[in-house]
Amino acid sequence: MTHGTDTSDRGRVLAARVESFVREVIIPHERDPRCGPHGPSEEFVHEMRGWARDAGLLTPHILADGSHLTHRETALVLRAAGLSPLGPVALNVAAPDEGNMFLLGRVASQDQKARFLQPLINGSKRSAFFMTEPAGEGGAGSDPSMLKTTARRDGDYWIVNGRKAFITGARGAGVGIVMARSEEGATLFLVDLPDPAIHIERILDTIDSSMPGGHAVVRIENLRVPASQVLGESGAGFKYAQVRLAPARLTHCMRWLGACVRAQQIASEYAVKRQAFGKPLIEHEGVGFMLADNRIEMKQAELMIDWCADVLDSGAAGTVESSMTKVAVSEALFRVADRCVQVMGGTGVSGDTVVEQVFREIRAFRIYDGPTEVHKWSLAKKIRDEALKAAGGVMSR
């Protein structure tokens, strides 16, 4: 409504193509036995990406000249991709690759782009972002002083040592971005994977199951990285992580909104066809109201995403806005998915439809990229600071 420009037609046209592709090509393969508890196999990912490439839809948010769609356009495209839990991986717009490509596009040197970004864009490799440490999200993830992985100079090389946890997609990845603490502070290193110095200790069994490679616990022992593979400048790692952070949160919201659109559609059709106590389920207000609540909450999620996308498109960092959006959208979509499950009764908790998986994935989403409580904590601090400032003047009545 608010955009009538060529630009957004571009987004809409692309999103429509992506939706057709996901519905016609990907969804029929959702039960492929190569989808396991730690996500689709590398072989299956490769196969799906081939289909996307043939359809001219691989990595659709990055244009031939290396420029990206606007965040607002991306919202349309990624929502369409998210209609299947396999869609983002098939189209190469999934986490963590999408965020990693965004980061490298902003910060990497031309040589680094050629070597590490290009294979991600053409979908031949996957990547992983080695930031979180076993001490937890609240640990190294957000507090430089808690980052325990170290990097020390050794001539033209860096030697990295430490442990990492919840490293999504590490197993099977071809490109790694590793955060470690140097003398100058947090620093990001680009590495080829696999590397014998990066031991995957185990893959966590998690409630979600859409991400190839799952989530790994990793030990880094004397990883040797040439100085040319430092991303940007040593000590600026947190600044770069911030560049990646807000958009990555937001694309998560986009994809899972798509998944909920699908779940709602499945639940609605189920409720139309199934009878209970003498009439179709959907004629029961107890069911109809749940679907109505979903409709409203999904619209709100869409509006929050578009709002935050506009903020990012304006060039702002969007830290607060993406926190607000992540909290609102992840919590709302969890309620949406939960209601879809409930509407469908026994079928809802079974793998007979994708609704059950969507519910599990979104449960995890309330924690990944910062649990709801961490975002509220930051937001509360901001409100405090504003109120303190305002209270410097005359108190409101």
Number of residues that bind a second copy (CB under 8 A): 99
Q: Does residue 348 belong to the site contacting a second copy (CB under 8 A)?
A: yes
Q: CB of 291: closest distance to a second copy in angstroms?
A: 5
Q: Does residue 226 belong to the site contacting a second copy (CB under 8 A)?
A: no
The residue count for the chain = 397
Is the Cα torsion angle 168, 230, 252, 15 positive or negative in sign? negative
Q: Which residues contact 338 (CB under 8 A, 6 or more apart)?
A: 359
Residue 104 near residue 127 (C-beta atoms within 8 A): no
Q: Does residue 333 belong to the site contacting a second copy (CB under 8 A)?
A: no
Nearest-angstrom CA–CA distance, 291 and 240: 41
Q: Which of 90, 108 has the CB closer to a second copy?
A: 90
Q: Does residue 53 belong to the site contacting a second copy (CB under 8 A)?
A: no
Q: Which stretch binds a second copy (CB under 8 A): 147-155, 184-192, 240-248, 301-309?
A: 301-309
Residue 130 near residue 179 (C-beta atoms within 8 A): yes
Q: Which residues contact 155 (CB under 8 A, 6 or more apart)?
A: none
360's tokens: 């599990």
Q: Which residues contact 285 (CB under 8 A, 6 or more apart)?
A: none
Q: CB of 72: closest distance to a second copy in angstroms?
A: 9
Q: Does residue 317 belong to the site contacting a second copy (CB under 8 A)?
A: no
Nearest-angstrom CA–CA distance, 6 and 12: 10
146's tokens: 């808690």
Nearest-angstrom CA–CA distance, 256 and 311: 20
Q: Which stretch binds a second copy (CB under 8 A): 41-49, 151-159, 229-237, 371-379?
A: 371-379
Q: Does residue 269 belong to the site contacting a second copy (CB under 8 A)?
A: yes
Q: CB of 253: closest distance to a second copy in angstroms?
A: 13
Q: CB of 10: closest distance to a second copy in angstroms?
A: 17
Q: Does residue 201 belong to the site contacting a second copy (CB under 8 A)?
A: no
Identify the residue among 21, 116, 240, 368 touching a second copy (CB under 8 A). 368
Q: Does residue 341 belong to the site contacting a second copy (CB under 8 A)?
A: yes
Q: Which stretch binds a second copy (CB under 8 A): 108-116, 153-161, 252-260, 305-313?
A: 305-313
Q: Which of 59, 209 has the CB closer to a second copy?
A: 209
DSSP reduced 3-state for 165? strand
Q: CB of 105: closest distance to a second copy in angstroms?
A: 23
The reply to whether omega before 194 is within 30° of 0 (cis) is yes
Which residue reads 């799906």 in tokens? 48
Q: Which of 60, 82 has the CB closer to a second copy?
A: 82
Amino acid at site 259? A
Identify the residue among 201, 205, 222, 242 touching a second copy (CB under 8 A). 205
Q: Does residue 243 belong to the site contacting a second copy (CB under 8 A)?
A: no
Indicate the pairing of strand 175-182 with strand 185-192: antiparallel
Identify the residue among 92, 149, 210, 268 touching a second copy (CB under 8 A). 268
Q: Which of 61, 70, 65 is nearest to 17 (CA)?
A: 61
According to CB under 8 A, which residues from 85 to 144 bind a second copy?
132, 135-139, 142-143
CA dist 390 → 327, 378, 379, 395, 397 (Å): 26, 19, 16, 8, 13
Q: CB of 360: closest distance to a second copy in angstroms?
A: 7
According to CB under 8 A, which residues from 16 to 45 bind a second copy?
27, 30
Q: Which residues contact 164 (CB under 8 A, 6 or more apart)?
A: 130, 131, 132, 133, 134, 149, 170, 178, 216, 217, 218, 220
Q: Does residue 293 belong to the site contacting a second copy (CB under 8 A)?
A: yes
- Print the binding letters for residues 159-198 with a second copy: x by CB under 8 A, - otherwise: ------xx--------------------------------
Determine whether 371 is exposed, middle or buried from the number of CB atoms within 10 Å of its CB (0-12, 13-18, 19+).
middle
Q: Does residue 149 belong to the site contacting a second copy (CB under 8 A)?
A: no
Identify the residue among 29, 34, 219, 363 touching a second copy (CB under 8 A). 363
Q: CB of 138: closest distance to a second copy in angstroms?
A: 3
Q: Does residue 286 belong to the site contacting a second copy (CB under 8 A)?
A: yes
Q: Which of 218, 226, 225 is nearest to 198 (CA)?
A: 218
Identify the residue among 115, 150, 288, 335 touching a second copy (CB under 8 A). 288
